[in-house]
Amino acid sequence: MGRMRFSIPQPDQVGADAAPCAYFAGMEGIPWQSVNTCVNGELIIERAIGESGNLFLPWPVEDQSRLMLGTASLMERSGAYHLPVELARGALNRLRNHTADWAAEGLVVPPGVQTSIADAMSAFTQAAIKQSVNVQAAADAAQRCIQLAVAGAEDLCAAYASQVLALRHKNEAQLSTLLGCSIDSEPLPDHVGNALLESFNCVSLPLRWRDIEPNSGEYEWGRIEEQLQWCRTNGLKVCGGPLLRLDASSLPDWLYLWESDFATLQSYLHQFLTAAASRFSGKVHVWHCAASLNFGGAMDLTEEQRLRLAVTAIESVRAADPRTPMFISFDQPWGEYLSTIDSDLSPLHFADALVRAEELGLAGIGMEINLGYWPQGTPPRELLDVHRQVERWGYLGLPLLIMLAAPSAEGDDPLATGPSKPIPAAYPLGPSQESQAAYLEKLLPMLIAKPHVHGIIWSQFRDSVAHHLPHGGLFDADDQAKEVLKVLKQLRQFHLM
């Protein structure tokens, strides 16, 4: 068994969430299954293999907020690595490499980024020299390096977004990228509907199997049709779906009678999808056939069965509505959950298997990024890490749609139906409307700048109705707009149709 040890000079820097969230990954960024423990000031990672790889874990960066940081590639050895020094090495390497790559492609690197690199390099040199003689001094220097590298990376990403968007606007005064939100079937209060129309050019309208077919063979389309008509009347493009999601709030209760009879379950799914796609054929602009099938869900299905359901979803919709483009989305695109479960396919490999089946005719791929949630979420990431992952998924060769969410508060949310909870230390002073808006203000321009990102959809519109993610909406429980809505509205006004 591969065993990696990391010494932590200040154990309080590793929060309670660090060991459960930590994972080791290879060159492709796919986590290996591991057992993680914190004992006597050491983080111990035990794996079934001994290959070199990168450690990822939440680490304090500024004002006690934590980002998922990664080391450079490390080989297995008997002695313990100095964790802050290795995280500093990784952060500095990422900044230097991306700066060099983007400069070679024509990016004008701001002087402040070069200063950050030089200062971070100086701090890292001190950390590397002192790690064998004064572990605490090495940790302090490493922390300075990390903070300088992360700040430099944010400046670099801001320059990338600004310069690429300027180039794109030379050809398109307003970009055709979709900016949307996922709404429910409840009628929208006037002020909420008006804010939606000002901020977005499309909506995602979930067609929950549970709501539409509460009893087998009996369909209730009324509320969906009314909401769809409101969207079409107001000139919004409509993404229909997801049609299939394997969570308890989406599946009808009667379906669990057939959980152990996969053929019958598959048949019922085909009937529902055919009915839905036929009913709304020509009325939606794109079909979101299925979501999160790479993750287990509420039913005890094998990975092969979930892959077969994905194929069933795509084929059923295509047969009923062959003209409307289709896509399928994947939860936790970094695959953090793979560190704790045995799985043959990473999210990217699951997607690749469907893309390679060209006869399925997928028009796009969705990435579900629920930042700041755990479990079944994504710890906040460096902007360069998000860039790298979006580029990696871009290699599939299809347009990407990014589904985003982030919490604006912590604590209980009585209307939340999912298992995910906000990570308390994900942002400075905990999740808040300000931290939610500040992180997205940095991230969104970088995503919009990428030509292969054809759409960004906020995964949850309101906290005042039943929803999946705690405090993840753009409107709070009293239907008051949150700060992040201003960021999205400005993004559309400056860049999009």
Q: Is residue 64 over pLDDT 60?
A: no
Confidence (pLDDT) at 33? 93
* pLDDT band at 426; cut points 50, 70, 90: low
Token pair in block for residue 144: 């300075």
pLDDT above 60 for 267: yes
Instruction: List the structure tokens of 417.
Output: 């139906």
Give 252's contacts (C-beta < 8 A, 6+ positions apart). 209, 210, 213, 214, 215, 216
pLDDT average, residue stretch 74-100: 95
What pLDDT was estimated at residue 49? 86
* CA 384 – CA 95 distance, rounded (Å): 8
Looking at residue 438, its pLDDT comes to: 87
> How does pLDDT run across 204-259, given as a tens digit for each residue?
999 999 999 999 999 999 999 999 999 999 999 999 999 999 998 899 999 988 88
Angle between helices 111-130 and 135-171 (to 10 degrees): 160
pLDDT: is 489 or 41 the higher one? 489
Q: Is the model's pLDDT at 427 over the cut of 90?
A: no
Q: Hey, which residues does 398 pair with through a beta bridge?
A: none
Q: Which amino acid is at 356?
A: R
Q: In the predicted model, is pLDDT for residue 289 greater than 90?
A: yes
Q: How does pLDDT run across 310-337, given as a tens digit for each residue?
A: 999 999 999 999 999 999 999 999 999 9
- Largest CA-CA distance found in the chain, in angstroms, rounded: 73
Measuring CA to CA, which residue among 378, 466, 477 is closest to residue 422? 378
Residue 169 · residue 205 · CB < 8 Å: no
Kindly report the number of other CB atoms within 10 A of residue 455's CB atom. Answer: 25
pTM, 2 dp: 0.94
Tell me the average pLDDT across 72-90: 95
Read off the pLDDT band of 27 (50, 70, 90): confident
pLDDT of residue 132: 87
**Which of 182, 492, 213 has the alpha carbon at shortest distance from 366?**
182
pLDDT confidence band for 429 (50 / 70 / 90): low
pLDDT at position 80: 94
pLDDT at 406: 92
Asked if the bond preceding 347 is cis, omega within 30° of 0, the reply is no
Summarised one tens digit per residue, pLDDT across range 338-389 is 998 888 899 999 999 999 998 999 999 999 999 999 888 998 899 999 999 9
pLDDT of residue 375: 87
Domains and CATH numbers, the chain: 2-169 (no CATH), 172-495 (3.20.20.80)
Assign 185 a pLDDT band (cuts: 50, 70, 90): confident
C-alpha span between 55 and 45 (Å, rounded): 9
| pLDDT on residue 431 | 82
**What mean pLDDT value characterizes the chain?**
93
